[in-house]
Structure 1
């Protein structure tokens, strides 16, 4: 019996040695086309606070696809932001970006989170007055995002000199994103009436309930960016797209990381 088993084992080993190896190989990450650049290479004066690489966002988790805290945009959009920044600097302000190019895998992460109705960890800050079952119907979450095309950016204005925003501590008490600025999570930006990514109608850029300094600040941002070629999404005071888009119909999925960019794009473009 042992002799038979030894023969079977030897036979199986011989067969396996003749079969080509089929070990799964890690698929190489996709790379950005040459039209994409790091915003810091185009204008290092623009402040960056990459929210989705942190847990301070409406999901409470770091978002898929964000490998480094950086802003990647199409070259045309980055150059337009540089023009807008020059104008704001003369007035004593700086732009600050929260999010730029967003890989499709990050959008997919948002969709999975929105379908998990039991996960409401960040509701008290980001969507206190919206039932999570309404996020798709009300347009707060979608299966596709203009950010994935590379010419859309979420941003605000900061008065100079800029003081850093303290880091979010997971588990800390949350306050509504539409409350008075002194009660909201601290942000070194101008008071825009709500925080970034506030799922509420008060985030609509021209909501009539937003008045005084808050409305002035929104219009200051809007007018300056429009002069540089950007168009605002009316439902979000922070959301702007440079027109015409370099890739109006293409949704990319390369990670937000320096290594995603072509080496030749790692130098400061000319004026």
Structure 2
């Protein structure tokens, strides 16, 4: 990991995460290249801004749960290869019910060069501090459909209000939203606006190698690090 990157949970105590691309629970249906640990990485500037966002969320009775942060370029390349494979239907209904795989790129849901690879972008949602349950925001992570757009019709009043809460929290903390994905936010003053990194998301103690070697046998190629 380069010098100004860090595991987000080490700099933002109490933040929750579920690194989707380190698991089988994502639109490719398997752990993605470059994710060797179930952790979220970002620049230290991103972490500082997320700390501010967490404080703002707590004032409204919410916590933040991260789904993705820094994304190695090799993961983006993995998405490209996956998109060219024949459709098997395993994740279509949940993640891209009304489009084909290759349309993900044309419609802006996936890019050959991702802002995530610069270390200044996160995918996240809200959860209720009182119960720990995820807040309703209308559709899950990587639902590549018009219902995931900001201002979409077809969601409930509560879901629309929660999207506004998240957008307000992130905007006040220095992030810009992305019209097509309610969960996607980029640091306004990101430190590496023109650099796309490719180091893996891996445990600092070397257990990444164990995760990689177990990929063919386990239900997850990632290891949690420290737990």
1:100 aligns with 2:105: no
Residue 162 of structure 1: CA displacement?
Answer: 4.5
- Cα RMSD over matched residues? 1.5
Question: Which position in structure 2 is the counterpart of 1:242?
Answer: 187
Question: Which position in structure 2 is the counterpart of 1:66?
Answer: 35
In structure 1, C-alpha distance between the alignment counterparts of 2:119 and 2:55, rounded to whole Å: 22
Larger Rg: 1
Question: Which position in structure 1 is the counterpart of 2:197?
Answer: 252
In structure 2, C-alpha distance between the alignment counterparts of 1:202 and 1:58, rounded to whole Å: 17
Q: Deviations over 1:214-250 (max 9, x none)?
A: 1000000000110000000111000000111110000
1:220 aligns with 2:189: no
In structure 2, C-alpha distance between the alignment counterparts of 1:133 and 1:49, rounded to whole Å: 26
Range 111-120 or range 141-150, more displaced: 111-120
Q: What aligned pairs does 1:1-271 form with structure 2 within 5 A after superposition?
A: 32-163=1-132, 188-259=133-204
Residue 194 of structure 1: CA displacement?
Answer: 0.8
In structure 2, C-alpha distance between the alignment counterparts of 1:64 and 1:149, rounded to whole Å: 17
Q: Deviations over 1:154-177 (max 9, x none)?
A: 0000001454xxxxxxxxxxxxxx
In structure 2, C-alpha distance between the alignment counterparts of 1:88 and 1:135, rounded to whole Å: 31
Length, aligned pairs only: 205
Residue 211 of structure 1: CA displacement?
Answer: 4.3
TM-score, normalised by the number of residues in structure 1: 0.72
8 Å contact from structure 1 (residues 107, 145) kept in 2? yes
8 Å contact from structure 1 (residues 155, 238) kept in 2? yes
TM-score, normalised by the number of residues in structure 2: 0.86
In structure 1, C-alpha distance between the alignment counterparts of 2:136 and 2:113, rounded to whole Å: 29
